[in-house]
Every structure is written in C-alpha cells, then in structure tokens.
C-alpha cells in the first residue's frame, strides 16, 4: 500500500469533461486528460483491503489493489503487467465498463469509491504510449486451428487467449469491419475507433486472421463446413435481437431500434459522410434510460436534433445514498452520463402507450406511472433502446429447443460446449449469445473462460489460461 492515509487525504476525482459547447462540435472522446500527479493521488486512495471486494465485483478478477498501488507510484510497467494478465482489453473496459468493481469498493461504505475504471484506463494508455507489452507472447505453434464466429469483445478475447497458447485462430465477422458492437454500436465520443484499430493491429501482429463479410449459416458458409476445416468452432454471436415495444403504431416509419440508428451514425462518422439516418432538426424521443439510450442521446445532440426526450419506465433512483444504508450503493444511485449534461429532457416512471402518425410517426403517447397522467410528445424520430432478447440463430438453424435455454440463448455445458450440434469438430459458445445481454467485462470474462475450455479439449489437461467465470445458466 503506497500511502496509508491516501483515502483520508484525497477526494475522489475523475477526469473533467470537455466543455459542452466544444464537444458537441466533434465526435472525440468527452474527457480531458488527467495529470500523472492526479492519477497518483487517485491510486493512493485505494485502502488495500484485507478482503478486496472490488476483485470479487469484477468478473475478470482483476488484481485491482495491485495496479492501483502501481499507478500511485507511477510504475506503469508493473501496473500493466498486473492488469493485462487478467484483462485482454483494459483500454476498452476503462472506457465502457459500468465498473461493478467500484460498486464493490470497501471505501464506498463511508466515502466515494476509488476511481478504479479510470485508473485502468490510465494504465492501459500509458502501456501503449510507452511501448510496454499489451498482449501475451505466442509460444510455438500447437498445430490446432480454431474458428471464432463474431468479433465483439467475447470473440476477440477468446481469440487473443487461444493465440497466446499457440493455436491458429481465424475470426469471422458478418459485417464489413471487425469489432461487433465495439465498432458500430459504441459512439465515437465514448470510444474512438482508433482505440479498437490499435488493438486489432496488435492481434494481427500476433498472427490472428480476420475475415469480414462472412455469414455463417444457410445463407453463407455452412457451420458444418467450418467444423470440417477447423479443430473447434466458437460461437461469439452476441445478443443482437432488439427488444421492441409492441404498441399501436410501432410499424410507422421513423420508429427504429436504437442499434439501427447507432450503426448508421457510426458508419457515417467513420466514413466522414452524412448519415443514412439522421436526427438533424428532428424531434427525438428515446425509449430507454440505460447506456444505449444515453449513447443515442449524445449522438442526436451532435447531429443537431431540434428536441430530445429520454423516457425511462423505471422509477428514478435516489440522488444520494440513503443515510441508513451501511453498504456501498453506487450502483443504485441516480447517474448522469456526459450525454445528459448536453441537454434534453429525462422522464422516469413513464410507459409508452402508442405511436401516432400517418405513414410516419408524428407523436408518442405516454403515461406517467406516478400521476397516471397521459401526455403526448411530438416525435418524428423514435429510438427504442429497450435492450436485446438474445442471439440471432435462425440462419444457423440452432433455434430448436435442444440448443436453447429458457431465455432463448445458446445452452452450453460446464465446458462452454453446445453438445447437440453434430459435425466433425465440437462447437463452443460464449458471451451474450450464452449469457444474454450483459456488460463488456462479462463478455471478455466469458471469452477467456471458453478459450480455456477449448485449450483443455485440445490438450486433455487443465489449461494454463484460467477461467474467471462459469456459464451463466450453471450459476443459477
């Protein structure tokens, strides 16, 4: 522990946002950099608890007190060695993870938790800028080949792990670029795509092959063909079926799933072109108060929406922690993202009743649960950010009951294997396709765990890769 009284001396201080008037003119990340002195102070706040619950709160089991202490001493090589040993992509999680580790931080019992997520970001960025090791070296080739279907965080994590023990890995993506939701679902102001491309360059240098515009299933490359060509196949498909709102008028033009809109917007930003679906001068209603809704909110602000209202069916969380609550409550306290600071109205306890319009949506009818009042909002663009239902399996012909859990996700055994699929080689699955819609840190943890099972299948012994989590259905 670097400074015994650090948590008493220094308040929690994350990075400051760039001014709203500035950041709305571009798509760059919203934070201003912190100085090394500020970073060191935040690392000093870690209490190095006897029982570090932050590590239990992290699905990856990151050695958080270790890299916090190293960051406090500005020992970036040692900090990176600790962090990259458990997390393949801290440059992603340091930007995108909602930080369950901070909700578990013991300091949060009586004070504000340590800025663990931002310290993770700083360790990763210092590692890249100082040319430190950011991936595991590949030993001699094993002679085994693995096909990974899907290039989101779960698929990429599995690919990196498998390559680190010498297996040849080919990643197949149905889109025109690698990255899954990291590429087209996450706005540039949350993570610039140069960060993703930087990581993909590292993976290519390690020998991982990437193939885009490849559909696996009836309409493209048969799954059985990949099973015949590779020694194992891993399905990391994500959970991409959107949850819609089945009310009258839901089929009107102008009502879209959030990801349809975000994908179009991200493609336009990446290509420096006008988006095929724009919020410019539109009255926008966003249905959903989570991270995806906030992503839509920040995007429509930058496109020049005339007005924006974000609707949340749940009640508003408390603004401050209850005085009679003895445990950390960060996860249950009202949160404001950078997008909420940029404008727009936010309503809670509100249910969507109907979309009105002739051919195209013109307004949304809502009901306030607290007052039972019915209100109508003008809207010529409605974005439904109500989450996802599960993976798309029709084309793979894996939608039969023998392949599915009760939540319409892929059913796997304790080794992450989908046993009912015939073929020359076994098929494994991980990430949101198994767990259902979840966090990026869970996707990486499941990718690492599935990779360990595949390696054990090849070698017949316990894998040195380690498995931080077990399949979700087995933990019920």
Shared domain for 298 and 382, answered yes or no, is: yes
Mean pLDDT of 268-278: 91
Please state the domain count of the chain: 3
Shared domain for 455 and 347, answered yes or no, is: no
Query: Torsions phi, psi of 410, nearest 5?
Result: -65, 135
Give residue 322's pLDDT: 65
Residue 474 clears pLDDT 70, i.e. is over it: no
End residue of a domain, out of 102, 129, 156: 129
End residue of a domain, out of 129, 163, 187: 129
Shared domain for 92 and 55, answered yes or no, is: yes
Question: Contact at 8 Å (CB) between 340 and 294?
Answer: yes
The Cα–Cα gap between 126 and 184 comes to 26
Find, among 471, 457, 461, 450, the residue nearest to 234 by Cα: 450
pLDDT digits (tens, 9 = 90+) for 69-126: 999 999 999 999 999 999 999 999 999 999 999 999 999 888 899 999 999 999 999 9
Q: What is the chain's percent helix, strand, coil content, to nearest 5?
A: 35, 15, 50
Give residue 433's pLDDT: 97
pLDDT digits (tens, 9 = 90+) for 116-171: 999 999 999 999 999 999 999 888 999 999 999 999 999 999 999 999 999 999 99
Shared domain for 372 and 393, answered yes or no, is: no
At 469, is the pLDDT very low, low, confident or very high (cuts 50, 70, 90)?
very high
- Residue 444, domain member (yes or no): yes
> Which three-class secondary structure state does DSSP give residue 244?
coil
pLDDT digits (tens, 9 = 90+) for 279-332: 999 999 999 998 999 999 999 999 999 999 999 999 887 767 666 665 655 555
Shared domain for 111 and 172, answered yes or no, is: no
pLDDT digits (tens, 9 = 90+) for 10-22: 999 999 999 999 9
- Residue 138, domain member (yes or no): no
The CATH number assigned to the domain holding 19 equals: 1.10.1060.10
Give residue 138's pLDDT: 83
Which DSSP symbol is given to 374? E
Instruction: Give the number of other Cβ atoms within 10 Å of residue 334's Cβ.
Output: 11
Shared domain for 298 and 378, answered yes or no, is: yes
Shared domain for 21 and 118, answered yes or no, is: yes
Shared domain for 111 and 174, answered yes or no, is: no
Find, among 308, 307, 302, the residue nearest to 269 by Cα: 302
Residue 56 clears pLDDT 50, i.e. is over it: yes
Give residue 473's pLDDT: 64
- Residue 140, domain member (yes or no): no
- Residue 68, domain member (yes or no): yes
Shared domain for 260 and 372, answered yes or no, is: yes
Share of the chain above pLDDT 90, in %: 86
- Residue 135, domain member (yes or no): no
Question: Contact at 8 Å (CB) between 397 and 423?
Answer: no
107-126 burial: b if 16+ Cβ within 10 Å, else e: bbeebbbbbbbbbbbbbbbb
What sign for the dihedral angle of Cα 94, 100, 105, 108? positive
Give residue 274's pLDDT: 87
Between 220 and 476, residue with greater pLDDT: 220
Shared domain for 220 and 251, answered yes or no, is: no
- Residue 134, domain member (yes or no): no
The Cα–Cα gap between 223 and 290 comes to 35
Report pTM.
Answer: 0.95
Shared domain for 24 and 108, answered yes or no, is: yes
- Residue 214, domain member (yes or no): yes
End residue of a domain, out of 386, 417, 433: 386
At 476, is the pLDDT very low, low, confident or very high (cuts 50, 70, 90)?
very low
Mean pLDDT of 372-378: 95
- Residue 139, domain member (yes or no): no
Shared domain for 278 and 375, answered yes or no, is: yes
Helix (H) or strand (E) holding 427: strand 427-429
pLDDT digits (tens, 9 = 90+) for 428-466: 999 999 999 999 999 999 999 999 999 999 999 999 999
The CATH number assigned to the domain holding 217 equals: 3.50.50.60
Look up the domain containing 360 and give its range.
246-386
């Amino acid at each position: 522990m670097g400074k015994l009284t650090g948590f008493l001396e220094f308040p929690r201080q994350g990075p400051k946002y760039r001014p709203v008037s500035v950041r709305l003119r571009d798509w760059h990340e919203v934070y201003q950099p912190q100085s090394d002195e500020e970073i060191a102070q935040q690392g000093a706040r870690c209490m190095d608890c006897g029982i570090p619950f932050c590590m239990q709160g992290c699905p990856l089991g990151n050695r958080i007190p270790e890299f916090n202490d190293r960051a406090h001493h500005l020992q970036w090589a040692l900090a990176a060695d600790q962090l990259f040993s458990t997390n393949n992509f801290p440059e992603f999680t340091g930007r995108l993870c909602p930080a369950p580790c901070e909700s578990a931080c013991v300091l949060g019992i009586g004070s504000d938790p340590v800025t663990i997520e931002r310290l993770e970001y700083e360790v990763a960025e210092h590692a890249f800028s100082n040319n430190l090791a950011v991936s595991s070296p590949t030993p001699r080739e094993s002679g085994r080949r693995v096909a990974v279907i899907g290039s989101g965080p779960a698929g990429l994590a599995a690919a990196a792990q498998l390559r680190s023990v010498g297996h040849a890995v080919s990643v197949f993506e149905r889109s025109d670029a690698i990255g899954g939701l990291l590429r087209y679902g996450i706005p540039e102001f949350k993570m610039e795509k140069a960060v993703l491309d930087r990581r993909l360059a590292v993976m290519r240098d390690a020998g991982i092959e990437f193939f885009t515009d490849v559909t696996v299933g009836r309409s493209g490359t048969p799954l059985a063909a990949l099973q015949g060509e590779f020694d194992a196949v891993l399905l990391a498909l994500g959970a991409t079926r959107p949850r819609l709102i089945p009310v009258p008028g839901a089929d009107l033009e102008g009502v879209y799933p959030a990801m349809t809109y975000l994908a179009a917007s991200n493609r336009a930003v990446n290509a420096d072109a006008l988006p095929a679906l724009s919020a410019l001068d539109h009255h926008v209603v966003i249905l959903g108060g989570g991270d995806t809704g906030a992503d839509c909110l920040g995007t429509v602000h930058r496109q020049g929406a005339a007005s924006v209202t974000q609707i949340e069916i749940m009640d508003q969380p408390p603004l401050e922690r209850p005085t009679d609550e003895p445990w950390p409550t960060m996860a249950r306290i009202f949160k404001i993202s950078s997008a909420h600071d940029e404008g727009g109205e936010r309503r809670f306890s509100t249910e969507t009743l109907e979309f009105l319009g002739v051919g195209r949506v013109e307004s949304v009818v809502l009901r306030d649960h607290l007052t039972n009042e019915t209100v109508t909002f003008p809207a010529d663009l409605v974005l439904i950010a109500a989450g996802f239902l599960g993976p798309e399996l029709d084309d793979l012909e894996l939608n039969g009951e023998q392949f599915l859990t009760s939540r319409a996700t892929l059913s796997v055994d304790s080794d992450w294997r989908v046993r009912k699929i015939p073929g020359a080689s076994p098929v494994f699955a991980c990430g949101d396709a198994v767990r259902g819609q979840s966090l990026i840190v869970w996707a990486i943890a499941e990718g690492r765990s599935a990779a360990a099972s595949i390696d054990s299948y090849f070698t017949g012994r316990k894998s040195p890769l380690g498995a931080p989590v077990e399949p979700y259905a087995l933990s019920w």
